[in-house]
Amino acid sequence: MHLRTAAARRFAGALPSLCVLALALAGCSPERYPQTALLPLSDFARIGDHVQDQTFYWALGVFVLVEGALLYSVFRFRGRPDDPEPSQIHGNTTIEIIWTLIPALILAAIAVPTVKGIFDTNQTPPDAMKIEVIGHQWWWEFHYPDADVTTANEMYIPAGRTVELLINSADVVHSFWPPRFAGKRDVFPGRETRLWWKADSTGLFSGQCAEYCGIQHARMAFHVRSVSPADFDGWIAHMQTLGPKPPAAPAAAPAGDSLKTASAGGNVRDPQAAPAASQKDAAAAAPQGPEYAQGEKLFMTKGCMGCHSLQAVKVPKGLIGPNLATVGSRSHIAGGWLENTDENLERWIREPQTVKKGVLMPNLGVTEEESRALRAYLRAHK
């Protein structure tokens, strides 16, 4: 076929690239991305998703109409060498009123679900379980005030129950972002912000600091481990055996919650697959070999305990690192981004400044053998 114009020939030339681009975009399926906000798993996240959906279809309509009219005009009214001077037009009041009114009406239509969404997300439902979230450079601390237990980088929540997060920073500005459950929330020193949601699925889901907070901002991640209410109560009871307080009477599981039986199962590979609740007192029950004893000694003498508590407590005065009460069973280490395998844990102990340059933990001159012993000791803390 003979292509008449240069533009048509250029389009034909670009066709293979456009096909490749279309194929590449097909790879952007949200299932492949653990931190997609397009697959909401909570009531809160669905409010935002609803607004985004509506806005998207309005935008799609505007795009198709405007680009369609543009392309039509480009080809229909293109100039030819012997064309006379076209008639000159200066303004058209009717058209100007129409193209001002239509966008105003579309914006008004988008404003209705947006404003409703703002009010709906601003209102914490009653009877929410409180969790204090504290941002540190570069890790997250989660404190459960009712049970008085604290963990780091892996937040346990009961699926089917509303949680309310009271968010603070210990140092600079961060942003707490659990994309499958809620939008981003800025984190300030000296000012509390709040966020809530009710998860409808169980599993392990990743989240991320979403505000630049220093050189290792990208490695200030965390995970949300959403478990059944019974497993959650089991976890709390287990944590209380590791904390400063003696265990309290177990809380009653909430009745009548609409917890989905088909679990989403999480979208993050979990190297420590079983939840801590089912490994209750694993550390005490497991036979501890000579590596454990050597590790325990090294933990006391190498300087680890100068920064880290082994109890499920908030960062106590004077200490600066996350507590390691359950480090052996956490899915990730080093601020919630490095898989908690034996190899990674040993390397993290040996050379934190290589693994996560600029982090407060210094290289302490730990040998390979010592790192194996420390790993054995910490792995037993579940």
Report the interface residues with ligand CUA, using CB under 6 A. 135, 138, 174, 209, 211-213, 217, 220
Q: How far is the CB of 137 from ligand CUA (least distance, A)?
A: 7
In terms of CB distance, is 19 or 218 closer to ligand CUA? 218
Q: Contact, 44 vs 121, CB < 8 A? A: yes
Give the nearest distance from C-beta 174 to ligand CUA in angstroms: 3
Min dist CB 127 to ligand CUA, Å, is 30
Question: What's the rounded Cα separation, in Å, for the pair 58 and 54?
Answer: 7
Choice between 211 and 370, CB closer to ligand CUA: 211
Our CB check for ligand CUA shows the closer of 115 and 215 to be: 215
Q: In whole angstroms, how close is the CB of 135 to ligand CUA at the nearest point?
A: 6
What residues contact 272, with CB distance under 8 A and at least 6 apart? 328, 329, 330, 331, 340
- Minimum Å distance from CB 124 to ligand CUA? 24
Q: Whose Cβ is closer to ligand CUA: residue 167's or residue 327's?
A: 167
In the bound complex, what is the minimum distance in angstroms from residue 104's beta carbon to ligand CUA? 38
The CA distance from 363 to 377, in Å, is 19
Q: What are phi and psi of 252, to 5 degrees?
A: -70, 140
* DSSP symbols for 231-261: HHHHHHHHHHHHSSSPPPPPPPPPSS----S
Q: How far is the CB of 357 from ligand CUA (least distance, A)?
A: 15
Half-sphere exposure of 201 (CA within 13 A, CB side): 17
Q: Which is nearer to ligand CUA, 219 or 379 (CB)?
A: 219
Q: Tell which residue, 193, 155, 196, has the closest CA to residue 175.
A: 193
Provide the 3-class DSSP secondary structure of residue 81.
Answer: coil
How far apart CA 105 and CA 286 sit, in angstroms, is 67
- Return the number of the residue (138 or 197) whose C-beta is nearest ligand CUA: 138
Return d(Cα 181, Cα 200) in angstroms, integer. Answer: 9
The amino acid present at 150, given as its one-letter code, is: T
Give ∠ CA 336-338-339 in degrees, rounded to 5.
105
The runs of H, that is alpha helices, within the chain are 6-26, 43-76, 93-122, 229-242, 282-285, 290-301, 342-350, 352-355, 368-379
For residue 320, the minimal CB distance to ligand CUA (Å) is 16
Rank residues 72 and 212 by Cβ distance to ligand CUA and give the closer one: 212
> Which residue, 11 or 212, is less far from ligand CUA as judged by CB?
212
Q: How far is the CB of 184 from ligand CUA (least distance, A)?
A: 11
CB nearer to ligand CUA: pick between 221 and 237: 221
The single residue listed with the structure tokens 């060498």 is: 81
What does 94-157 look like in DSSP terms, one character per residue? HHHHHHHHHHHHHHHHHHHHHHHHHHHHHSPPTTPEEEEEEEETTEEEEEETTTTEEEESEEEE
| Contact yes or no for 271/336 (Cβ under 8 A) | no
The neighbour count for residue 218, using CB atoms within 10 Å, is 13
Query: In the complex, what is the shortest distance from the CB of residue 207 to ligand CUA, in angstroms, rounded to a whole number?
Result: 11
